[in-house]
Amino acid sequence: MAFSKLVFLTGLGSELVEEVLSYAPSDYEIVVLNETASEREIIRQVEDTDFLLCYRHDPSDDVLRSLKKCQLVQLLAAGYDRINLDILSELGIPCCNNGGANSWAVADQALLLMLAVYKQLLASDASTRNGEWAKPITGQNTFEMADKNIGILGFGSIGMQVAKRVQGFDAHVQYYDLNRLDDNTELEMGVTYASVENLFRTSDILTCHTPLTKSTRHIVNSRTLSMMKSSAVLINTSRGPVVDELALIEALSAGTIAAAGLDVFEKEPLDPDNPLLRMDNVVVTPHMAGTTWDTWARRAKFGFENMKRVSGGEAPQAVVKNFDEK
């Protein structure tokens, strides 16, 4: 029996590594390298690997250039901004993300942040525990999702799941994406296309679900924030640098927008001195949106099925595009 070699670069703990690899084909020779592995060892192992699987351990450019016979680089995450797609393109090696395996989880987190901000969840929890019954609630600072305009910046698998969820709260959905849906699909999904500027101007809640590229880096900036309603809320569960953090801090301090719910930041882990942590109108979580127990089986199954496709001469699914290529 011919064995395929798989190198798994990962920052996961042993139990989650075992869970992921439990879905691997039995005829794979698997080498697991965690973040303690040296660059030299990683290069030695990847030189003859057929597949490279990555999660929370990003391969360096030198590692990628050492892929002599690799047929596929498979990511278990949705994001791909920390891998050099130019090198993989030069080498003719496709790179695929998780095919939307964590889209439900991230959509849930986006909705959670919206509701936490709208219902003053953290302040109400703290006041109840401290014996200050309903102290934060004025009758003027909590809101409903119904009839609000939810603007979705980036309408891929995650953005579409967000749309379904907020529609369950009787909200209206508008979106912007480089690839606009056709009229019939928009009608079926109950969504409306908007330009970037109109999305910022007219959304009560604007939620970011775009990949990080040169064109989307700091797409939320002082100019676009100034277009937003003073009552608007910004949600970001995509990538930290999609938002110009200094501009956001200024907008929140000045009342340009009302509040924000953030799972991602320009620098992670978040600096303890970051002003966002001292703002009552901000809810923060530690880049956890896509991390649920439920996702691991979907991530793993998708990744290994993609490898089987490639081994069988088929094209892989969820090949990521380098939007920065000229």
For residue 136, CA distances in Å to 101, 133, 306 come to: 38, 8, 50
Catalytic entry in 239, 266, 298, 299: 239
Cα–Cα distance for residue pair 209/243, rounded to 1 Å: 11
Is residue 313 left, alpha or beta, with left meaning phi > 0 and alpha meaning psi from -120 to 50?
Answer: left
Beta-carbon contacts of residue 275 (< 8 Å; ≥ 6 apart): 249, 253
Q: Which two tokens stand for residue 76?
A: 């278990």
For the beta sheet containing 51-55, the strands, ordered from the edge strand earlier in sequence to the opposite edge, are 28-33, 4-10, 51-55, 72-75, 95-96
Supply φ then ψ for residue 145, to 5 degrees.
-80, -25
Cα–Cα distance for residue pair 263/259, rounded to 1 Å: 14
Q: Is 239 a catalytic residue?
A: yes
Q: Is 57 a catalytic residue?
A: no
- Active-site positions read 239, 268, 287
